[in-house]
């Protein structure tokens, strides 16, 4: 399905209904394709949302210390020799 930017403003409810039905919508501006709206789905294998694969997520998962302790250590003044 294609929609213009004006359609987005005037008919957003209908466009969201099309997204809920699983349709992809290509947004055009002055006749040129500018964006694509796709349904937001969960990944099957782990139940997480698509697009949440951040390589830094869980970087410190092996640390058992408290977040409060870590922040407290970071906020302490430096010890100058």
**CATH classification of the domain holding 17:** 3.40.1620.10
Residue at 4 is within a domain: yes
Residue at 54 is within a domain: no
Residue at 46 is within a domain: no
pLDDT tens-digit series, residues 25-65: 999 999 999 999 998 875 555 556 655 667 777 777 777 77
Residue at 70 is within a domain: no
How many domains would you assign to the chain? 1
The residue segments making up the domain with residue 21 are 1-40
Residue at 19 is within a domain: yes
* CA atoms of 65 and 73, how far apart (whole Å): 11
Identify how many contiguous H helices and E strands the chain contains and give both numbers.
Answer: 3, 3
Comparing CA positions, the residue from 60, 61, 63, 41 lying closest to residue 52 is 41
pLDDT for the residue numbered 3 = 96
Strand bridging mode 32-37 / 25-29: antiparallel
Residue at 10 is within a domain: yes
Higher pLDDT, 50 or 23: 23
Question: 14: pLDDT confidence band, cut at 50, 70 and 90?
Answer: very high
């Amino acid at each position: 399905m294609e929609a213009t930017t004006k359609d987005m403003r005037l008919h957003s409810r209908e466009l969201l209904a099309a997204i809920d039905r699983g349709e992809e919508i290509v947004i055009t501006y002055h006749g040129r394709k500018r964006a694509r709206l796709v349904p937001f789905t969960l990944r099957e294998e782990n139940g997480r949302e698509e697009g949440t694969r951040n390589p830094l997520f869980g970087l410190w998962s092996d640390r058992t210390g408290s977040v409060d302790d870590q922040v407290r250590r970071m906020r302490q003044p430096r010890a100058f020799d």
